[in-house]
Structure 1
C-alpha cells in the first residue's frame, strides 16, 4: 500500500521503519532526560549522596566529582558504542545490529536498578547502557537515510531527533509522577521503564526491511529490490520490473560496484581524495558544535539550574522546556525539508546565540534568586533558545550525518562524527558542575560564542544536500566547481539548476522509466570522483 508524493509512490512501510528505528533516538532522549530529576529525588540522595546527618535528606548532597561522574559516564559508554556501531552495522546488517544494541542497553538498565547503596554500580550501569545508546546513535540515522525514499529522506531522518525530544519529555513526565514515592521506586521506575523502549525497538525492527544499500554491498541484489519495493509500497511481484525500482537498483548497484574497488577501512575516512577527509572533519565538527550549542546544559542540569534561579518547582520547568523541545521539532522537520540544510543552521546558530546571551547577561547582572522577574526572563530566554535549537541544529545535524558521506565509508564516518558528539557530551556533562561553580551564568556566554562559530562553519564548509539522492550528494562534494555557498543551485552535468534536476527527475519518474539514467549517473560519479 502506498501514497503519492510529487507523483512518486511512497510506501507506508517507509514511514513505519523510520518511526520504529527512531525508538533508538527515544532511548537516547529518555536516558538524557531522566538523570536531571533523579539527582534531586530524596531516596536517590539518601542512598548515593554524602549526608552529614544520616537519614536527613536536607543534609545530603553530591560532590562535584560524584555528580559529574554519575551524569557523564553514560557519555563515555556512548562514545565507545558509537565507534563500535559501524563495524557491527556493517557486519550483521542495520536491523540485527540495532537488536543487539538494545540487549546491551537493557543489561545496563538492570545494573542500575539493582544498585542499593554503591553509586559506582549505578554509574557503571549508565556506562553499559551508554554502549547500546551510542551504537544505536550511529546505526539508526544511517539505516533511515539508506532506506527512506529520497523525496522524504530529510523528514524521515529527522524523526530520530523528534524521538530524542519525545524521550526527554517522557522522562520528565514519569519523573514528576514518581518523585513523591517515599522509597527507591521513585527512581527505579524511571530507570526501569527504559527496558520497555528497548523491547519495542529490538523486536519490532526485525519485521522491517533491511537497508537496500547494505544488501547491495553484500551482493544480495534481489533482496535489495524487495526492500526498495516495500519502502515504495510496490507489490513484491513487481519489484523486478517496476521502472522506479529498476532505476534505483541500477543507481545503487553502480555506486556499490565502484566503491567495492576502493578500500573502505578506517584509514580511508582520513584520505583527502574525493573530499573524504573534508567530510569526516565536517561531520565531526557539526556533531561537536551541536553539543556546544549548550542544549544539554539545560537537559542534564536544568532542574538544578532552575532551582538555583529560585523556582519553587524546577521539575515543572523541566517539563515546560521538554515540551517546547518536542513540539518545535515538528516545525524543524518542515523547515529542513522546505528550506534545506544550510540556511536553517545558519539562522539557528545566530538565534540561539542571541538568547543565550540574554540568559547569561540577565543572570550575571542581577541575582535571580532575589529578583523573580530576572528569573522569569532567564526561563523565557532558555525556552526561546530551545525553540531555535529544536527547529534547526537538533534535527539538522542528524540528517546531515545520514546523507553527507559516501557509501563505502558512511558507517565509519558516521561513527566518527557521532563519537565526536559523545566526547563533547561527556566533557560538558562532567565539567559543567565545576565551570558553573566558577563562573555561574557567564557559562552562557561561552555557548553563545560556540553557536556563532557553528553558523560560520556551516556557511563556509557545508554543502546543501537536500532533495538529492545519496549518490548525487557524493557527486556534488567531488565537483571541483561547486562551493558550499553556491551548492544550493548545484546540479549534475545536463541540468541548469537544482530545481531543474528536481523537476525533471520527478517528471521522468512519474511518467516513464529511465533505466539507464541512474547507471549513467553512477558512471558520472565515478569519473568525477576519479578526477578529484
Structure 2
C-alpha cells in the first residue's frame, strides 16, 4: 500500500489556526540539523587547532598548517553521501514506523554521528560525518511529509517553507558559535560547535514525543480510533465530533483514490500515465538538482575559507553577515510563497541570482584581484562590492529557490507515488550536494606542490561565472517545467497536470479555483456516473 505525504489536499481543517501553525512549524525545527552542520563544517576546517590535528604542514613555509584539497572535499561532502542514502530510506521508514517515530529514530542516528565527530582520529571523524548525514537525510524527507499532512491547507506553502527558514537559522547559529570559539587554543574550539548539535536533536526528538502522529498514516494502517484522536488534537475538537468524523471520511476517500491509482514500486514513479507520474517525478528530481547548481552551498560550505583567501581580515564576521541576510530574507520569502506564487518567485529569483553572480565574477577578476593563498594586494572598494553582491545573491536565493523548492517537493507528486517520488527528489538534492561540495575545492583552490601536492583549477572568484550560467539554466527550467500551484490542494494539482500545460498553468489554476474543482469531487462524480450507467443497463 502506498504512503507518503498527502491526505485530503495538504493538511487538515483546524478550528485553531495558532495551534496548527505551532504544531506544523515545530517540525521544521529539523532543518536546524542540516543548516547548523553545513555552517559548522565550513568554519571548523578554517580553525587552527583543527588544522593542526587533521591537516598537513607545508614544509615550504608558504601555507603553514592547511588541509589538502582532496581532504577538504572529502570532509565537507561526505555528509551528503550519507544524506543521499538517508533520503532513500525515508520512504520505507515513514510507512513502516510512521512519521513521528521515524523522526525520533532519525534524531538518534544523527546523535551517533555527532558523537563520533568528537573523536581526534581522521577515519572516525569521517565515519561520524557519514552517519550524521544518514540522520539528516531521513529528517529532510520526513519533515515535509509530516508537515504536508498536518499543516492547514490555506497556508501550506508558508508552513512547509519554514523548513528552509530553519536551515538558515541553523546556519546563522553555527556562525555565531564558531565566531565565539574560534580563538580557543585547544580541541574545544571545534568540539564545542559540534557538540551543540546534540541540543538541536534533543529538542526535535523531545518535541515529537509530544506531538500527535500523522492521522493519514494512522488511517493508512487502519488504526481508526488513534487516527480520530490525532485528528481531534490537530483540529482542537472532540475525537467523536461530527467535524472530526467528516475529516476522517475525507481522508479515507483520498486513500481510496490513492489505492486505485497506485501501481506499486519505484518504476511507477516514471510511468507516463494519465497522472503524468514520469514528468512530475523528473521535475522534482531535476528542480532539486538545479537548486544545488545555484551555487549557494559554495558560500555556506566554503564561504569562510573563500573570504579568507579573498583578503577579508575577519571572514567569520562576513559569514555571520551572510547568514543574517539568508535568515532575514528567508522569512520574507516564506511570506511571499502563498502571495506571489511558486513559479513567479522562482523566475524572479533565478534572474536576480544570475545578475548578482555575474557582477561578483566580473568585479572580482577586473578590479577585485582576490588575494588568494599567494597573498597579492586587494582593492578594498571592489571587495566591498563583491561582498555586497554576494549578499544580494543570497537574498534572491533565500526568497525563492531556498524555500519554494521544498514546498514544491511536498506538492508536485501524485498521491499514489508521493512517498517514493519525494524520497527520489530529496535524494537528488543530496547527490548534487555531494558532487558540488566535493568538486568545488578543486575548482576554486590553487594547486599545491610537494609530496602532498594536489592539482586544482585555481578559479577563485571566477567560479561565479559558472554559478551565474547555471542560474540561466534555472530560469529556463522553471519556465518550461514548473507549474503555478498557489492556492491549490494536492488533488487540484493532480487536475492541473492532467488538463493543463506548464506554461498556461497559472490561467488554468485560476479556473480551478473559480469553479472549485477538486480531484475528490471528480472521483465521486465519476463513481456516480458509473453507478448510474449500471442502473440504466439493469433497467433495460
TM-score under structure 1 length normalisation: 0.89
* Equivalent residues, number: 496
CA distance in 2, matches of 1:475, 1:220: 30
- When structure 1 is superposed on structure 2, of 70-79 and 367-376 the one drifting more is 367-376
2:87 corresponds to? 82
Which one of the candidate residues 381, 385, 389 is aligned to 1:377? 385
Cα shift at 1:57: 12
Q: Which residue number in structure 1 is paired with residue 131 of structure 2?
A: 128
Match of 1:299 in 2: 300
Aligned equivalent of 1:258:
257
Structure 1 residue matching 2:80: 3-state secondary structure: helix
Name the residue aligned to 2:396: 388
Cross-structure match for 1:272: 272
Quote how far apart the aligned CAs of 1:264 are: 2.9
SS in 1 for 2:410: helix
Contact 2:107 2:202 in 1 (8 A): yes
The 5 A counterparts of 1:419-498 are 419-437=427-445, 438=457, 439-479=459-499, 482-490=500-508, 497-498=511-512
Alpha carbons of 1:157 and 1:234: their partners in 2 closer, same or farther (altered >3 Å)? same
| Aligned residue number for residue 65 of structure 2 | 60
Show the 5 A alignment for 1:97-496. 97-113=102-118, 115-116=119-120, 118-238=121-241, 241-242=242-243, 245-261=244-260, 262-273=262-273, 274-366=275-367, 367-369=369-371, 370-437=378-445, 438=457, 439-479=459-499, 482-490=500-508
Report the CA distance shift for 1:285/1:269 in structure 2 as closer, same or farther (over 3 A): same
Shift of 1:460: 1.1
**Partners of 2:21 and 2:251 in 1: how far apart?**
21
Q: Offset at 1:307?
A: 0.9
Question: Deviations along 1:50-89, whole A, 9 cap, x unmatched?
Answer: 12469x9972111110011010110100111111111111
Measured against aligned partners, the alpha-carbon deviations of 1:230-265 in whole angstroms (never above 9, x if no partner) come to 333334342xx02xx455433322221122243332
Say which of 38, 42, 51 aligns to 1:45. 51
Q: 1:179 to 1:322 in 2, by over 3 A?
A: same
CA–CA distance in 2 between the matches of 1:256 and 1:156?
Answer: 23
Aligned counterpart for 2:30 among listed residues 24, 32, 39: 24
Q: In 1, distance between residues paired with 2:326 and 2:71?
A: 28
Contact 1:250 1:518 (C-alpha < 8 Å) held by counterparts:
no
Q: Secondary structure at the match of 1:490?
A: helix
Give the aligned CA root-mean-square deviation in angstroms. 2.3
**CA distance, structure 2, for counterparts of residue 182 and residue 473 of structure 1:** 56
Distance 1:259 1:382 in 2: 45
Contact map agreement 1:255 1:522 (CA 8 A) in 2: no
Q: Is the 8 A contact 2:492 2:512 kept in 1?
A: no
| Counterpart-to-counterpart distance in 2, 1:460 and 1:225 | 42
Unaligned runs of 5+ in 1: 1-6, 506-516
Runs of at least 5 residues in structure 2 that lack an aligned partner in the other structure: 1-12, 372-377, 446-456, 530-540
Question: Could you say if the C-alpha distance between residues 235 and 72 of structure 1 is closer, same or farther in structure 2, counting changes exceeding 3 Å?
Answer: same
CA gap 1:52/1:349 in 2 versus in 1, 3 angstroms: closer
Deviates more, 1:210-219 or 1:312-321: 210-219
**1:519 Cα deviation (Å)?**
5.0
Task: Quote the Cα distance in structure 1 between the aligned partners of 2:305 and 2:346.
Answer: 29
Change (3 A) 1:349 1:78: same
**Preserved CA contact (<8 Å) 1:46 1:57:** no
